[in-house]
Structure 1
Amino acid sequence: MASEAATALGYAKQLLAILNKDRDRLARIDDYVQGEHDDPYMPLNSDDEYKLLARRAVSNWMPLLLSTPAQAMYVDSVRRPSVQLAVGEVLPEWKHWQRSRLDARQLAIHRGALKFGHSFTLTEKTVRGVRTKGLSAMKTAALFEDPANDDTPEVALTVLKFAKGDAKGVARMFDARYEWTVSFGSLGDDVSVRLTAKRRHGATECPVTRFAAAVDLEGRTVGVIEPMIDLQNRINQTVFDLLVAQTYASFKVRTVTGMAPPVKRDPETGDVVLDDEGNPIPLPINHNARRFLFAEDADVKFGSLDETPLSGFIESLDMSIRHLAAISQTPPHHLLGMIANLSAEALLAAETALLRKVEEFRNSFGESWERVMRLAVELEGNLDAAQDYDAEVMWRDMEMKSLAQSADGLGKLAESLQIPVRGLWNRVPNVTSQEVQEWERLREEDDAELQLAQSIRRATPDAETGISSPAPELVSA
């Protein structure tokens, strides 16, 4: 018992140290998504107007880079090829999905993984049954024996409350058998870490699952935001320079030489009013496009300074956005809005890179969801389903195709390749698993009514022979 507690305490200190190490990096990523960016370069003696332009120069592209792949990933159903379901029957994995309200919550889990590179879920028993909830990477860390290849953590810790003032922080830590309650001070202080309680969580392995956007062979995870921060800063700098040029130099400047400006005079004596240093105080000149300039002295010359062209700044901004689109594999028309006069083939070609990236994320997240399902049915006592590694999640088809096109294609598959019609139901655009089950029930009802009508017709005496056919037994489909 003492050895278990000492090992768990060592894990807790190690996991809290990981959270402390990653805190600044993850906070910076979160700031960029929220629009809190680094200031563009400006002179040290910048006034308030410059600082206002710097705040207005922030063009936050990060939410779009995050939402574009996230909105293409929705788990629609779960299937196990080894299980034949009766009409109206639902897999226990999908019951768990609905109980946990993951139709809505899955998006936050996917967004967290895409934003920080990884997120987590916790599957546990509650008073309302086994449920799964998402955990943020800013509050959760996990240790793996082989972080590049293992999908099961050795141990994981999630913070419920950080330390504030004299109040201690509280965290939950999970290993293969127990859940530990951890009390700690500041994240950088491992001296004050202690274990306050433990209990069995009921699973045979750690119930925390990692969702990783991309994992290399060193076990490092990377999302879609961090690699784009430098490009985002470049865009902000270009926009700031554009705003400065637009504010201070985008119009012609009128000049005059050889003429002294009017000065302030005493209204009673007519004498020139001097400042503290003995210099005349010039009067402000109210000049605009409606006023005409003239001078009595022949030596006075008028001129103008040309405005600074803004086209170079705009071209530089377009180039940076195109670089952002190429590196992030985001279709250019998603960022630039240039979609006019594009054929369906051109749109498909433009979105090919995005579709490949989404498919990569789906493969990674799909394996994580399948582990969540196995954990859920194990905690519910269904050991056979927990050992079934053939189960897989089905992703919703998010391609924008008309119903007529889809129906024509599915009809050709059924007719030309002799694919069973029932096997094509799930490929109907935007169909849900509940709708497919309803179609199954209606088909069963239609088949039963057809069998009954045939039996009645056969049992009716023939008008010519007067011989009635025996009614066959009704066989349920």
Structure 2
Amino acid sequence: MAEPSPASLAKQLLAILDRDEGRLQRIDNYNQGKHDDPYMPPQADDEYKLLARRAVSNWMPLLVGTPAQALYVDGFRPGAAGDGLPQAPASSSSEWSHWQRSRLDARQAAIYRGALGFGHSFTLTEKTKKGVVTKGLSAMKTAALFEDPANDETPYAALTIVRKPKGDVPGKARLWDGKREYAVTFKAKGDEDSVRVLSKGTLHGASECPVTRFAASIDLEGRTIGVIEPMMALQDRINQTVFDTLVAQTYTSHEVRYATGMAPPIQRDPETGDPLLDASGNPIPIPINHNAKRFLFAEDPDVKFGSLPAGPISSLIDSIDMSIRHLAAVSQTPPHHLLGQIANLSAEALLAAETALSRKVTEFRNSFGESWERVFRLAAELEGNVTSADDFHGEVQWRDMESRSLAQAADALGKLADQLGIPLRGLWKRVPGVTQSEYEDWVEMAEDDDSEGLLARALTRATPAAPTPERELIAA
């Protein structure tokens, strides 16, 4: 079967972006706090609409940020070096140099947040004047084609929009296939007739498409699912309950005072005493300064005063709490992260509460780790490093972000060394907060100490022992 032309690939990818635009835009709106309005009467006035705007309680950034803050690549361990050569330290490897050149220490968080929010994000690895670098691409502007979307890690084509069309100015996009990069223009994503490929393309230097997908969760149909879309219904429920609470708080939570049988005083002409009339011919009442500090009285004995009790809102508050707990359970977010209730919780209770989140983060690490390993292989190929380009044994090292004190970690690591006989050096990386550079410094210092100790022991063995007085006496 003949390979599809660049123009046909561009049309397919732009059609995908056009198809998914509404869904991705709605996900982005919910992440930004632009939610669907809660239900209100058709005759709702401006006060109701104001309460509806204030009822928005945006939990979506927390659902994205909680797992994203536990994802931080802190190093990369290359596979075994070939030809019997010693393996270089991870911090001085070409893969980690590419990581630092791309400033991914700071930029990796945006890639994770995009993948967790929309279900997937992308990275582009390419040659620049500064060398080979990798940058993130938004799912709202980027699409990729896979022969098997559920299992393939390498797309056979990808496109990202550089400039959206505006008026008579067409939009611009970049297209990549397995060998070349093309410049594309279009007037609208859904207008296939306006798609133009401007050139025959330039070689991008890699043997496959240089775009890598980061999927948060993917099923066997190839569909990627983030953490926001499944939670929209629960978010709407919370907003509706908060809106009902605000309405009850505004209109029924205060005691209402009333008076019957009393006509309000009217304004009169100071000279004639005649009532002043408005434009419709009705008497103009005198405003009554009625507040909690005023005492009400009337001269007419038939006037009656009373009050209506305030309506309870505690049930609505309990409903909000229940909805947030449902949100925590369905999203695998610890309840104390959402409710802020951490008083009187033991260490075992906190650990049990965060078990589901830890499993969720582990799943994300496994998925994103495979994507980073492909990025490192692409970068090595573009740099001409054949050994690293074929290294399928490299492993991304994630920083341990669990909240443990140094004393607890030291006690646990000591027990692992004493009771299980695990080498001490093998436990150094599990010290909370240790970085790759610090670990390698420890290894270097330990090797220096070992070499000095070996030298001292060798000198001790080579130096004959001085004779003691007893030995001299026996020898005599």
Q: Same fold (TM over 0.5)?
A: yes
Aligned twin of 1:143: 145
Provide the rounded CA distance (Å) in 2 between the counterparts of 1:459 and 1:356.
57
Aligned twin of 2:318: 315
| Residue 263 of structure 1 pairs with residue 261 of structure 2 | no
Provide the rounded CA distance (Å) in 1 between the counterparts of 2:112 and 2:278.
67
Q: C-alpha deviations, 1:278-330, integer Å up to 9, x for none?
A: 43322221112222222233322111111121112211111111111111111
Aligned twin of 2:97: 95
Q: Aligned AA for 2:188?
A: S
Please say if residues 121 and 208 of structure 1, whose CA atoms lie closer than 8 Å, have aligned partners that are also in contact. Answer: yes
Q: C-alpha deviations, 1:21-42, integer Å up to 9, x for none?
A: 1112111111111122222222
Please say if residues 95 and 380 of structure 2, whose CA atoms lie closer than 8 Å, have aligned partners that are also in contact. Answer: yes
| Residue 423 of structure 1 pairs with residue 423 of structure 2 | no
How far did 1:111 drift? 0.4
Q: Which moved more, 1:446-455 or 1:150-159?
A: 446-455
Aligned twin of 2:24: 26
| Residue 215 of structure 1 pairs with residue 246 of structure 2 | no
Summarize the alignment of residues 28-177 of structure 1 with structure 2, pairs less than 5 Å apart: 28-83=26-81, 84-86=86-88, 90-177=92-179
Identity of aligned residues (%): 68
Change in CA separation of 1:6 and 1:429 when aligned onto 2, cut-off 3 Å: closer
Aligned twin of 1:383: 386
Aligned-CA RMSD value: 2.0
| Residue 341 of structure 1 pairs with residue 344 of structure 2 | yes
Provide the rounded CA distance (Å) in 2 between the counterparts of 1:291 and 1:454.
96
How far did 1:451 drift? 3.3
Provide the rounded CA distance (Å) in 1 between the counterparts of 2:115 and 2:455.
55
Please say if residues 153 and 208 of structure 1, whose CA atoms lie closer than 8 Å, have aligned partners that are also in contact. Answer: yes
How far did 1:458 drift? 4.7
Provide the rounded CA distance (Å) in 1 between the counterparts of 2:365 and 2:327.
22
Provide the rounded CA distance (Å) in 2 between the counterparts of 1:352 and 1:454.
49
| Residue 325 of structure 1 pairs with residue 328 of structure 2 | yes
Please say if residues 331 and 354 of structure 1, whose CA atoms lie closer than 8 Å, have aligned partners that are also in contact. Answer: yes
Provide the rounded CA distance (Å) in 2 between the counterparts of 1:74 and 1:290.
59
Summarize the alignment of residues 240-389 of structure 1 with structure 2, pairs less than 5 Å apart: 240-389=243-392
Please say if residues 131 and 376 of structure 1, whose CA atoms lie closer than 8 Å, have aligned partners that are also in contact. Answer: yes
Alignment partner of 1:191: what SS? helix
Change in CA separation of 1:88 and 1:24 when aligned onto 2, cut-off 3 Å: closer
Alignment partner of 2:194: what SS? coil
Please say if residues 96 and 131 of structure 1, whose CA atoms lie closer than 8 Å, have aligned partners that are also in contact. Answer: yes
Q: Aligned AA for 1:185?
A: K
How far did 1:267 drift? 1.6
Q: Aligned AA for 1:249?
A: T
Aligned twin of 1:413: 416
Aligned twin of 2:8: 10
Please say if residues 157 and 173 of structure 1, whose CA atoms lie closer than 8 Å, have aligned partners that are also in contact. Answer: yes
Aligned twin of 1:469: none
Change in CA separation of 1:5 and 1:390 when aligned onto 2, cut-off 3 Å: closer
Q: Which moved more, 1:405-414 or 1:168-177?
A: 405-414
Provide the rounded CA distance (Å) in 2 between the counterparts of 1:4 and 1:131.
33
Residue among 193, 204, 210 paired with 1:201: 204
Provide the rounded CA distance (Å) in 2 between the counterparts of 1:457 and 1:89.
37
Provide the rounded CA distance (Å) in 2 between the counterparts of 1:128 and 1:165.
35
Please say if residues 160 and 169 of structure 1, whose CA atoms lie closer than 8 Å, have aligned partners that are also in contact. Answer: yes
Q: C-alpha deviations, 1:74-101, integer Å up to 9, x for none?
A: 1111113423525687332222212211
Please say if residues 91 and 97 of structure 2, whose CA atoms lie closer than 8 Å, have aligned partners that are also in contact. Answer: no
Please say if residues 143 and 160 of structure 2, whose CA atoms lie closer than 8 Å, have aligned partners that are also in contact. Answer: yes
Provide the rounded CA distance (Å) in 1 between the counterparts of 2:364 and 2:390.
25
Alignment partner of 1:324: what SS? helix
Provide the rounded CA distance (Å) in 1 between the counterparts of 2:321 and 2:91.
54
Please say if residues 87 and 441 of structure 1, whose CA atoms lie closer than 8 Å, have aligned partners that are also in contact. Answer: no
Provide the rounded CA distance (Å) in 1 between the counterparts of 2:36 and 2:451.
69
Please say if residues 88 and 438 of structure 1, whose CA atoms lie closer than 8 Å, have aligned partners that are also in contact. Answer: no
Please say if residues 80 and 87 of structure 2, whose CA atoms lie closer than 8 Å, have aligned partners that are also in contact. Answer: no
Alignment partner of 1:172: what SS? strand
How far did 1:452 drift? 3.4
How far did 1:255 drift? 0.9
Provide the rounded CA distance (Å) in 2 between the counterparts of 1:436 and 1:243.
54
Give the count of matched residue pairs.
464
- In the alignment, structure 1 segments of 5+ residues that lack a partner are 466-477
Provide the rounded CA distance (Å) in 2 between the counterparts of 1:346 and 1:211.
33
Q: Which moved more, 1:280-289 or 1:200-209?
A: 280-289
How far did 1:459 drift? 5.2
